[in-house]
Structure formats: structure tokens, C-alpha cells
Amino acid sequence: MVDTIQPASSNQSVSNRPQAATATESERSVVNSDFETFIKMLTVQVENQDPLNPIDSTDFATQLATFSGVEQQVLTNELLTSLGTQLGAGDLSAVSGWIGMEARAVTPVNFEGNPVKLTLAAGAEADEHELVVRDAAGSVVARDGISGDRQTILWPGTDGFGNPLPAGTYDISVVSRSNGQELSRSPAEVHGRILEARVDGAQTQLVLASGQEISPDAVLGLRQID
């Protein structure tokens, strides 16, 4: 059954929450502290060495080189984190115009008790098509025969007996068969209004009205909501 979707509210936000600065400052503080401790230990080691059996200068060089390598690695990590944050912010700017639009994406369904808009596509050469719903554990909780035409439906979130399913994540796909043999399995395309675009670390995420988060790469289509 295909029903008309009423537009959701117009609350919109863009969130950019890079957390790299705090992490790198902490790493830098640890390196500085460790370096001071290392110098103190090295000084004490020199002061208390046996004059008849002095420490080989090569050992000092090795210790200094080892610590220097650790310091350089921390600085490299800091640079890479900074670059990742900048790239993520650039992606955020690119998708910020998507806010308020309806996205169509291949992703599991985040069911919260309300009907979910889906687009279904079946195998062209099959003679039997079935909508199969699996819960988060992979168990089949609903099956329903459908036509092979590409169609948009409102999935009510019920099991095979028409009883409401509990809130949770469901994997929905169309299984196409010919003469009883499975030919293809196509994931349902989920529709959802984009409320927010944000950066978590270096990854850009879109937040749908259902609370579900998806990657921009998972989006197959966008449309303005009338």
C-alpha cells in the first residue's frame, strides 16, 4: 500500500564537533612531561655511574634516539588528525545543503513504532517476489508477497500475523525467485528526512528524523519535501 507522507517539522541544525584538539593537547602534554622525566633520569644515571665502568656513549645515543622517535610519531599523529578534521569539515560543508531534504538510502530500518517509507526493487526475470523482514539477530519476523514492480510503500512495522513489532533495527529485503529457486536479494531503500549533518572525528554523518545516522555515501537520491 502506498500512502502520502506528511512533511515533518522544520527544525534543522548542522553540528561540527571535532575533538582532535583536546586529544592532541593531551598527547603533547604527556610527551613534554615524559621528556622532562627522561632528562632527570638520564642525569641521575650519569651522576651515579661507576667511574671504573662508565656507561657506553652509544647507549646514551640509543636512548635519546628512541625517545626522539616517539616524540616525532606523536607529532605526526597530531598532523594527520588535524588533516582528517579539516577534510571532515569540508565534507560537512558539501552536504549541509541536504538538510531538510528527503534522502533515499540503502540502510537497515530504524523502527520506532511509526510506518517507514521504503522503495522496493525486485529481480526482473523472477516470477515470485517476497518482502522479507529480519530482526537484529537475523531471525525472519515477517514475510509478505509483493509484485515485481519497483514501488514505494509504507511499511507498517508488523509481523506475519499483523502484530506490531517492537522498536529496533530491522533488515528488509526483496527476495526474487523463479520456479522456487532464489535468483536475487535486493535491500529495501529507506526514505528519511535529514535533520542534521555533523562530523564525528573525521567522519561526516547525516541524522534522519528517525534518529538514524547514515553516511553520505549511502545516499542514493534526494528530493525536496513538498
Which has the closest alpha carbon to 84: 23, 147, 156? 23
Across the chain, mean pLDDT equals: 77
pLDDT band at residue 156 under the 50/70/90 scheme: very high
| Predicted pLDDT of residue 94 | 81
Confirm if 62 and 173 have CB atoms less than 8 A apart: no
pLDDT at 10: 36
Contacts 24+ apart (CB under 8 A), 49-56: none
Q: Quick one: what percent of the chain has pLDDT higher than 70?
A: 63
* Displacement of CA 12 from its chain's centroid (Å): 20
Nearest residue to 200 via CA among 74, 97, 84, 98: 84
Per-range mean pLDDT, top range of 87-101, 115-129, 135-149, 200-214: 135-149
Report if pTM > 0.75.
no
pLDDT of residue 132: 96
pLDDT at 20 over 50: no
What pLDDT does residue 12 have?
34
* Amino acid 32: pLDDT: 56
pLDDT at 26 over 70: no
DSSP 92-143: HHHHGGGTTSEEEEE--EEE-SS-EEEEE---TT-SEEEEEEE-TTS-EEEE
Phi, psi of 151, deg, nearest 5: -150, 155
**Of the given ranges (5-19, 79-93, 116-130, 166-180), which has the lowest mean pLDDT?**
5-19
**So what's the pLDDT on residue 55?**
63
